[in-house]
Structure 1
Amino acid sequence: MPDVIAADGTIRNDDWVVVPRPAAGESMDIPEDKPVLIPADLWLAGHEHFAGKPSVGVWFDSHDEPELLGEKVNELPLIAVNFPRFVDGRGYSIGRLLRERFGYRGELRAIGDVLLDQLQFMKRCGFDSYVLRADKDIAKAPKCLTFFTQTYQAATDTDQPLFRRRAS
């Protein structure tokens, strides 16, 4: 199993299994003995069955809209956002919307094509855990999360831009 990096730079084992979207006409193969992340729309379709289970979270693909879950967002212990390619920035918007518009308070994880130089920007958008692409050195992750000491803009981690913070 891959390791997961927390926003504070700690590295731990990742127990969550990402269940891929089944092909048309097939059913999901969900392991019974491990916590799972299933596609968000399929969780919503089976809400009565999955709701309230601490071992079931969801994952969004980059083209999914967070509005899909709406007020049910805080029923989930973990939401992962898939970054299919490092140049696809839609996941940043999904993370920020989940935190700011929908008030998601659980763990928000970046998965997929996650690179070291993206970690601090993902953190600013509300992500608090990350699964790096397999060919990246996880030992470098803690430094990448704190590479910049100051930020100019407001984001999920600070509600004031730098010029206002300096003025106060």
Structure 2
Amino acid sequence: MPKLVKDGVIVDDQWQVLPKPESDASTSVPAGQWLVPLTVWLAQRDALQARTDIGVWLDSDETAEQIGADANSLPVIAVNFPSFMDGRAFSTARLLRERFGFTGELRAIGDFMRDQLCYLSRCGVNAFQFADDQVDLHQAIKSLDDFTEFYQAGVDQPIPLFRRRTA
């Protein structure tokens, strides 16, 4: 079974990622735990909402607003990195946590780098499914602690350093 890093530990990945359909978003979603593309979710929302084994993944050109209030009805939302240089998923993750109050598993999928884990966790991502199955997950966990203090506010530390120093 594939593995991923979730909440700082290595766990079995119970979810499968349904590829984005090229044309018809009404293709049936098989039984089992699936992360479906946003286009499939939007096309089949009423039927899929009744299932507890469905999560949604957002591509980099899709926004948190497109899933909106539906976010809190989902156990997992994934943000996709089509390239490690495409940082739009950082903003999407933060918006899901801060604006839409999503409290479930927020997963990074696709082509992100181990060096980005600390920053992704600051944006609210708590699970990491690497596209490269050769990534040493034990070393990846260490990347979550690359920095011990941050100047900026984040999902994990909403008060910036200058305010914490004066408190």
**Which TM class, normalised by the smaller chain length?**
over 0.9
**2:120 corresponds to:** 122
**2:4 corresponds to:** 4
1:121 Cα deviation after fit: 0.3
1:29 Cα deviation after fit: 5.5
**2:91 corresponds to:** 93
Whole-angstrom CA distance in 1 between matches of 2:62 and 2:33: 22
Say whether the 8 Å CA contact 1:37–1:59 is kept in structure 2: yes
Q: What TM-score, normalized by structure 1, do the two folds share?
A: 0.92
1:69 aligns with 2:67: yes
1:28 Cα deviation after fit: 3.1
Say whether the 8 Å CA contact 1:84–1:113 is kept in structure 2: yes
SS of the residue corresponding to residue 69 of structure 1 reads helix
Identity of aligned residues (%): 45
1:167 aligns with 2:166: yes
Q: Which amino acid in structure 2 is aligned with residue 13 of structure 1?
A: D
Say whether the 8 Å CA contact 1:2–1:131 is kept in structure 2: no
- Which of 108, 111, 120 is the equivalent residue of 1:110? 108
Q: Which amino acid in structure 2 is aligned with residue 30 of structure 1?
A: V
> Which runs of structure 1 show a deviation greater than 6 angstroms over 4 or more consecutive aligned residues?
none
- Which of 51, 54, 60 is the equivalent residue of 1:53? 51
SS of the residue corresponding to residue 130 of structure 2 reads coil
1:142 Cα deviation after fit: 1.5
**1:41 corresponds to:** 39
1:2 Cα deviation after fit: 2.7
Q: Which amino acid in structure 2 is aligned with residue 148 of structure 1?
A: F
SS of the residue corresponding to residue 35 of structure 2 reads strand
Say whether the 8 Å CA contact 1:115–1:133 is kept in structure 2: no
**1:15 corresponds to:** 14
Q: Which amino acid in structure 2 is aligned with residue 163 of structure 1?
A: F
SS of the residue corresponding to residue 130 of structure 1 reads strand
SS of the residue corresponding to residue 131 of structure 1 reads strand
Q: Unpaired runs of 5+ in structure 1?
A: none
Q: Deviations over 1:53-83 (max 9, x none)?
A: 2200000000001111221110111000100
Whole-angstrom CA distance in 2 between matches of 1:15 and 1:166: 42
1:138 Cα deviation after fit: 1.3
**1:156 corresponds to:** 155
Q: Unpaired runs of 5+ in structure 2?
A: none
Change (3 A) 1:117 1:167: same
Q: Deviations over 1:96-154 (max 9, x none)?
A: 11111111111100000121100010000010100123132212011100111101100
Q: Over aligned residue pairs, what C-alpha RMSD do you find?
A: 1.5
